[in-house]
């Protein structure tokens, strides 16, 4: 839909917190609107002269956008940097990017601006790139959307919750969710209420039930007006929410007047359904940016005709987490309030890390839109390969069987993989005669970086109800002592302080960082620890 045919965002100022309403423009930051005048003589601020910055320029050798193949097969270990150090192995294709202290042309990215005091809006060239990127990729359904940089999505959520929620209020979220979203809000006495999930993430029927049956007296709080969600690469489950589910939830949020905070760091790591090794074939995909983007599940922004979505994006998963760079996409009203919140805390989007941000901006403006999309496509294939390899390792170490689950919860209707231990010897006899005790189960993720694994403690010797939390941490500790660190499941529960379901524990296991050989070793250790723990 062309922007001229779209309506502008509606007024949602009644959602603002008391703190946000009280925020005024920082007096010194209010001067910034005049700084775009090239003839201005600026004597108001305490800004050092840029000639005193002890850096003449910064340069980097950046990879080219097509550095990663679109062939979905395991490739050389990233330890190949050792071989490249000594001149062996294939040479990476790079291009040199440089950010000078002073610009040659008026619109050049430069350190004189990047390292100076600035506004909470960030580098102008980056703002321009983000606005174009959002318009082309996410296609918001209202005309006057705004973008605003922030220092990563955790910071983005922290700023959002303070902008929208008062102490004592409650926000909606999935029953399993990102721990920092939970624990960053709790000190403000802003607590989560869990909404049941299935294979796509948050359920629309469960959300309606929570909202329609809300009892303020029983709950001790008014009905929630903010929803936090990770809809793609759902953390920790790895679920991907499709268009129809998002449309249904968006319509519910319109009906009940709820702001949607869409935290989407894994959006471009959509991998599709897992296929067993025997069912896969090597295929090389020809890159077409439009087709790649069209095949992705859409953002909530695609359905947002009112401006009630605050989308959180980040470069952490696609460029570098240490850069601490992300951005909001939201209505102008909400962007202005978030900017006011930022200018009195972090001020500009960074401190010394403006070095990284100016380099990232230079990288993006060098690659341009099409180059960045090609880079994202390559990363999606890389993480699909990692996911497949890790599950293949599990299939090698364990007896891994598919099962059509009868569960009514998170995995309702999914094809579940159930793992049982193989003895170290007599494999053939075992396959024919042994009764296989289910130790764990999981649904392969369709996006993101994690396997969400359920541990079946009901099969633990001498198990009794109430042991779940204790057994989860006992097994976690044994794995850590054996040299494999995973994330305990209770970290992710939105039922803060409540006991887990009978007989169940969970681990979130990442396949994003370890070398392929290290992943194989980790799965072997996992098997040895489980074998000892369950006394098989």
What's the pLDDT tens digit per position in 82-91? 444 445 556 7
State the residue range of the domain holding 221. Answer: 13-35+45-106+126-271+300-368
Residue 55 or 33, more confident: 55
pLDDT surpasses 70 at 370: yes
The lowest-confidence range among 137-141, 195-199, 244-248, 357-361 is: 357-361
Residue 256 or 341, more confident: 256
pLDDT surpasses 70 at 171: yes
Residue 155 counted as domain residue: yes
What average pLDDT does the chain have? 87
Residue 223 counted as domain residue: yes
Q: How far is CA 415 from CA 273, 296, 443, 482, in A?
A: 10, 22, 7, 31
Report the C-alpha gap between 130 and 135 in whole angstroms.
8
Residue 282 counted as domain residue: no
Domain total for the chain? 2
* Chain position carrying tokens 């809000």: 185
Regarding whether 304 and 202 lie in a shared domain, the answer is yes
What's the confidence (pLDDT) of residue 91?
Answer: 74
Q: Are 162 and 189 in contact (CB under 8 A)?
A: no
Regarding whether 458 and 419 lie in a shared domain, the answer is yes
**Region 304-327: what's the mean pLDDT?**
92
Residue 4 counted as domain residue: no
65: CATH? 3.40.640.10
pLDDT surpasses 90 at 111: no
Regarding whether 86 and 138 lie in a shared domain, the answer is yes
Task: 43-50: list long-range contacts, CB under 8 Å, 24+ apart.
Answer: 45/117, 46/117, 47/116, 47/117, 48/116, 50/101, 50/102, 50/111, 50/112, 50/115, 50/116
pLDDT band of residue 411 (cuts 50, 70, 90) is confident
Regarding whether 495 and 352 lie in a shared domain, the answer is no
Q: Are 389 and 519 in contact (CB under 8 A)?
A: yes
Regarding whether 173 and 65 lie in a shared domain, the answer is yes
Residue 122 or 347, more confident: 122
Residue 287 counted as domain residue: no
What's the confidence (pLDDT) of residue 113?
Answer: 83
What's the confidence (pLDDT) of residue 500?
Answer: 58
């Amino acid at each position: 839909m062309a922007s001229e045919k779209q309506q502008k965002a509606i007024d949602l100022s009644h959602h603002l917190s008391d703190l946000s309403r009280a925020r005024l423009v920082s007096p010194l930051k209010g001067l910034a609107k005049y700084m775009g005048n090239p003839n201005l003589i600026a004597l108001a601020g305490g800004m050092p002269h840029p000639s005193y910055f002890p850096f003449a320029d910064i340069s980097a050798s950046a990879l080219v956008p097509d550095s990663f193949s679109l062939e979905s097969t395991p490739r050389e270990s990233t330890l190949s940097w050792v071989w490249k150090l000594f001149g062996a192995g294939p040479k990476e294709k790079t291009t040199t990017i440089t950010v000078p202290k002073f610009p040659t042309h008026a619109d050049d990215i430069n350190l004189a601006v990047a390292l100076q005091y600035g506004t909470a809006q960030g580098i102008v060239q980056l703002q321009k790139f983000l606005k174009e990127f959002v318009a082309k990729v996410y296609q918001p359904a209202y005309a006057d959307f705004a973008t605003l940089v922030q220092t990563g999505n955790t910071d983005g959520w922290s700023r959002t919750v303070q902008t929208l929620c008062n102490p004592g209020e409650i926000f909606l979220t999935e029953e399993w969710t990102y721990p920092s979203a939970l624990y960053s809000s709790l000190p403000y006495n802003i607590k989560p209420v869990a909404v049941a999930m299935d294979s796509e993430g948050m359920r629309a029927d469960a959300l309606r039930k929570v909202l329609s049956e809300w009892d303020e007296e029983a709950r001790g709080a008014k009905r929630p007006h903010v929803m936090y969600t990770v809809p793609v690469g759902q953390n920790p489950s790895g679920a991907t929410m499709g268009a129809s589910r998002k449309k249904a939830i968006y319509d519910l949020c319109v009906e009940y007047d709820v702001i949607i905070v869409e935290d989407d760091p894994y959006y471009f790591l959509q991998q599709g359904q897992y296929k067993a090794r025997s069912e896969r074939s090597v295929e090389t995909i020809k890159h077409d940016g439009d087709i790649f983007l069209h095949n992705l599940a859409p953002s909530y922004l695609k359905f947002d005709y009112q401006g009630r979505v605050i989308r959180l994006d980040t470069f952490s998963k696609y460029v570098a987490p240490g850069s601490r760079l992300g951005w909001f996409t939201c209505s102008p009203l909400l962007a202005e309030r978030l900017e006011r919140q930022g200018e009195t805390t972090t001020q500009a989007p960074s401190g010394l890390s403006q070095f990284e941000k100016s380099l990232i901006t230079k990288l993006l403006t060098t690659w341009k839109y099409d180059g960045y999309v090609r880079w994202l496509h390559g990363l999606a294939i890389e993480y699909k390969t990692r996911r497949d390899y890790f599950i293949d390792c599990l299939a090698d170490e364990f007896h891994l069987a598919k099962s059509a689950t009868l569960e009514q919860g998170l995995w309702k209707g999914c094809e579940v993989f159930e793992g049982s231990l193989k003895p170290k010897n007599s494999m053939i006899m075992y396959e024919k005669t042994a009764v296989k005790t289910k130790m764990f189960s999981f649904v392969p993720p369709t996006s993101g970086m994690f396997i969400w694994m359920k541990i079946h403690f009901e099969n633990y010797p001498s198990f009794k109800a109430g042991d779940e939390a204790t057994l989860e941490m006992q097994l976690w500790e044994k794995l850590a002592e054996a040299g494999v660190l995973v994330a305990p499941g209770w970290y992710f529960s939105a039922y803060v302080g409540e006991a887990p379901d009978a007989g169940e524990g969970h681990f979130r296991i990442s396949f994003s960082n370890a070398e392929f050989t290290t992943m194989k070793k980790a799965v072997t250790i996992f098997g040895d620890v489980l074998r000892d723990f369950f006394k098989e």
